[in-house]
Amino acid sequence: MSTLSRQLVSVVRRHAVLAGLACVVVGALMIVDGIASGRRFRRFEHARPASATVTSKVEASSVPPRWDVALAWPDQGVGARGVVRVGPDRARALRAGDAVAILVSEAGGRAVILASDRPRERPVDLGLVAATPLVFVGLAVAGCGLALALARARLSRAPVRSRTRPRDAAA
């Protein structure tokens, strides 16, 4: 076992409740993200493809670096407009006047995304919500965190086992 692993095990043993709580929080965030990804997939599942023109690019935030790219496209004989938020790599690649492929969804109000950003993970329909497999991973992480927090007394009393053999005193 490496030194880092031993130190991590030592910290988790001493602070089992905090480590368990951290796992529960990370698991909960994974669950929320999995449900949001499922909603996003459902929203753009039957979106209409279109070709748009980049009209402008404006920095939306510096931390994390994000840009709002304004788009215009013909929609049923009338010009339509929309904004997509992109990261730094995509923002550097896009210039005003560039043609881009987009998806336009009318489900729950008009929404636009770049065609290359189409959600790929097919969600599992859980009745009330559609969720990606990340939800189940989040449930497992949260469950392990809860078990860790509840087993704190046993962890603090457990003996530390060493993988090295004791040296022979006679030799």
pLDDT tens digits, residue range 11-38? 888 888 888 999 999 999 999 999 998 8
pLDDT, one tens digit per residue, over 75-96 is: 776 778 889 999 999 989 999 8
Instruction: Tell me: do 63 and 101 sit in the same domain.
Output: yes
Average pLDDT over residues 51-58: 92
Instruction: Please report whether residue 90 resides in a domain.
Output: yes
pLDDT at 167 over 60: no
Residues of the domain holding 128: 1-46+121-161
pLDDT at 47 over 90: no
pLDDT, one tens digit per residue, over 118-138 is: 877 788 888 888 888 899 999
CA separation, residue 133 to residues 118, 137, 146 (Å) = 17, 7, 20
Instruction: Tell me: do 15 and 60 sit in the same domain.
Output: no
Amino acid 121: pLDDT:
76
pTM higher than 0.85: no
Instruction: Tell me: do 109 and 70 sit in the same domain.
Output: yes
Amino acid 29: pLDDT:
96
Average pLDDT over residues 147-170: 67
Instruction: Tell me: do 55 and 80 sit in the same domain.
Output: yes
Instruction: Tell me: do 38 and 16 sit in the same domain.
Output: yes
CA separation, residue 116 to residues 3, 4, 120 (Å) = 43, 40, 10
Instruction: Report the alpha-carbon distance of residue 141 to residue 152 in Å, rounded.
Output: 17
Mean pLDDT of the chain: 84
Instruction: Please report whether residue 166 resides in a domain.
Output: no
Instruction: Report the alpha-carbon distance of residue 154 to residue 138 in Å, rounded.
Output: 25
DSSP 8-state assignment for residue 102: E
Instruction: Tell me: do 53 and 110 sit in the same domain.
Output: yes
Instruction: Please report whether residue 39 resides in a domain.
Output: yes
Instruction: Tell me: do 12 and 25 sit in the same domain.
Output: yes
